[in-house]
A and B are shown apart, each in its own frame.
Chain A
Amino acid sequence: MTPFPRTVNETTSRELRKTFRNPSEIFYPLIFFVLVLTMFPFAIPPVPGLFNSIASGIVWTAALLAISLSLETLFKADYGSGALEIIHLSGADLVLVGIGKSLGHWIISGLPIALLAFPIGWALDLNFLTLWVLVLTLMLGSATMSLTGASISALTVGLRGGGFLLVMLTLPFFVPLLIFGSSAATNASLGIVPEAELYFLGGMFVLSLTVAPWATAHAIRIRLG
């Protein structure tokens, strides 16, 4: 039993099941995330303290890009196979389907990225408090990205150049998350309590949870019509 409505549960478990049977979809964003963070230290000058001061920003940027890239596949297969059409015609509540899709996407992209940020941040010499703030902000930020990204992914699915359009349309929504998320972690590393940033990210998450699933449902109807 979970606290979610049945449609959310079923949609999420369908997303997880189909992804775990074709795990490359999970690994591509994670490999991208890890590769960017592994390569970056080689590209900056060996100035003492420089990397430490920009590390959380780099982790956040890599996470944002990895999640953006994974959003394209969210509705692609269901749209192409006609499954989305059938779900729509079956009278399913598309708002709940949107929440289920977003939750599934977060579990396979945002959550593992946030958890991976802990050992990677530790390897990048971030202190313990900064690591916790980084993971927390990534969890909140990635959940917001999955929710807002799902609506734009639904709107651009099946369009020629839809992948490019998706990245272009999601970035303006994601940049504030990047600014507040990375500055929270940077402030924590300087010993400043990142209360304001965390409240902002929490607010953005609640706002996206309140608005984005309805936008996703509407976007699905537009694309099918």
Chain B
Amino acid sequence: MSKPILEVTNISLSRAQNLVVRDLSLSVSGGEILQLSGSNGSGKTTILRALAGLIMPDNGRVARLEEKVGNITTSSNSMVYIGHRHGLEENLSPLENLNFLSQVSTPSPVRDGVSVLGTLGLKTSMHVPTARLSAGQKQRVSLARLLMFDAPLWLLDEPFTALDTSSKKQLENMIDAHLDRKGAVVLATHQKFNCKSHVTNYSLPLIV
């Protein structure tokens, strides 16, 4: 049994002063994928944001392994979070957006913007202002961060939204490759997806 990449102990989370998650404990190790499921408002996004460190839990602890994991080449940042919002400046091109991130991030990414955008089939639109791209293309630019930073933990919030069939397949392959390299994935999605590894499902109760 490998050491967990992510360990969550008894966390409670609130959204706008309302408790949405009570005493949640989970752990994800290298090569594992955890799917958060539950109805709208059950706290999937809130949990992912807490795992990313964007929300402090009311109580409990979120621990992320920061060291080198499995055969992943570098520890880089310990995780990459892909949220609902694409996080792109609309007046800049996808490449400018990624180049900026690669210049300011610590530590630096392992792949450059040109190569990851090429891999994701965005070679022809990498210099176009992001505002002119479709929702699916923007989502793919956002997913490019997964390839840029070789982080052991991927936190994905509805990653298949707006993706066409071939892009969805490509993301599934990326997830498989990541798990093969002993990376871990936590994702929240309502869509069906195919994955070589066994997907652990965590169903969230609705607390109102």
Spell out A's residues near B (CB within 8 Å): 6-7, 10-11, 14, 17-18, 21-22, 77-78, 80-83, 85-93, 96-97, 224-225
Interface contact B55-A90, CB-CB below 8 Å = no
In whole angstroms, what is the CA distance A151 to B104 when docked? 20
Interface contact A10-B86, CB-CB below 8 Å = no
Chain B residue total in the interface (Cβ 8 A): 29
Query: In the complex, which residues of chain B have a beta carbon less than 8 angstroms from the beta carbon of A77?
Result: 89-90
Interface contact B54-A225, CB-CB below 8 Å = yes
Query: In the complex, which residues of chain B have a beta carbon less than 8 angstroms from the beta carbon of A93?
Result: 104, 106
In whole angstroms, what is the CA distance A90 to B99 when docked? 12
In whole angstroms, what is the CA distance A85 to B53 when docked? 10
Interface contact A92-B104, CB-CB below 8 Å = yes
Query: In the complex, which residues of chain A have a beta carbon less than 8 angstroms from the beta carbon of B53?
Result: 89
Q: Contact partner of B103 among A6, A80, A89, A224, CB < 8 A?
A: A6
Q: Contact partner of B105 among A11, A17, A92, CB < 8 A?
A: A92
Counting CB contacts under 8 A, is B44 at the interface? no
Taking CB atoms and an 8 Å cut-off, the chain B residues in 98-144 that contact chain A are 100-101, 103-107, 129
- Closest chain B residue to A15 by CB distance? B89
Taking CB atoms and an 8 Å cut-off, the chain B residues in 55-100 that contact chain A are 55-56, 77, 81, 83-92, 96-97, 100
In addition to A14-B100, A81-B89, A92-B105, 7 A-B residue pairs with Cβ atoms within 8 Å of each other are: A21-B92, A81-B86, A81-B88, A82-B86, A86-B145, A89-B77, A91-B107
In whole angstroms, what is the CA distance A83 to B92 when docked? 12
Query: In the complex, which residues of chain A have a beta carbon less than 8 angstroms from the beta carbon of B96?
Result: 14, 17
Interface contact A90-B104, CB-CB below 8 Å = yes
Interface contact B87-A82, CB-CB below 8 Å = yes
Interface contact B54-A14, CB-CB below 8 Å = no
Query: In the complex, which residues of chain A have a beta carbon less than 8 angstroms from the beta carbon of B107?
Result: 91
Q: Is the interface of B mostly helix, strand, loop or mixed?
A: loop
Interface contact B87-A81, CB-CB below 8 Å = yes
- 5 sample A-B contacts, Cβ–Cβ < 8 Å, listed by A number: A14-B92, A80-B85, A86-B101, A89-B53, A97-B104
Query: In the complex, which residues of chain B have a beta carbon less than 8 angstroms from the beta carbon of A14?
Result: 89, 92, 96, 100
Interface contact B100-A91, CB-CB below 8 Å = no
Distance (Å) between the CB of A10 and the closest chain B CB? 4
Interface contact B101-A90, CB-CB below 8 Å = yes
Query: In the complex, which residues of chain A have a beta carbon less than 8 angstroms from the beta carbon of B149?
Result: 90
Q: Contact partner of A18 among B52, B77, B92, B105, CB < 8 A?
A: B92
Q: Choose among B53, B81, B88, B100 the residue with the greatest number of A CB atoms under 10 Å from its CB.
A: B100
Query: In the complex, which residues of chain B have a beta carbon less than 8 angstroms from the beta carbon of A78?
Result: 89
Interface contact A11-B104, CB-CB below 8 Å = yes
Query: In the complex, which residues of chain B have a beta carbon less than 8 angstroms from the beta carbon of A96?
Result: 104
Q: Say whether, besides A17-B92, A225-B56, A85 and B83 are in contact (CB < 8 Å).
A: yes
Distance (Å) between the CB of B148 and the closest chain A CB? 10
Interface contact B104-A21, CB-CB below 8 Å = no
Q: Contact partner of A87 among B54, B56, B90, B104, CB < 8 A?
A: B104
Query: In the complex, which residues of chain A have a beta carbon less than 8 angstroms from the beta carbon of B83?
Result: 82, 85
Distance (Å) between the CB of A95 and the closest chain B CB? 12
Distance (Å) between the CB of B182 and the closest chain A CB? 22
Interface contact B106-A91, CB-CB below 8 Å = yes
Query: In the complex, which residues of chain B have a beta carbon less than 8 angstroms from the beta carbon of A86?
Result: 81, 87, 101, 145
Query: In the complex, which residues of chain B have a beta carbon less than 8 angstroms from the beta carbon of A81?
Result: 85-90
Interface contact A18-B81, CB-CB below 8 Å = no
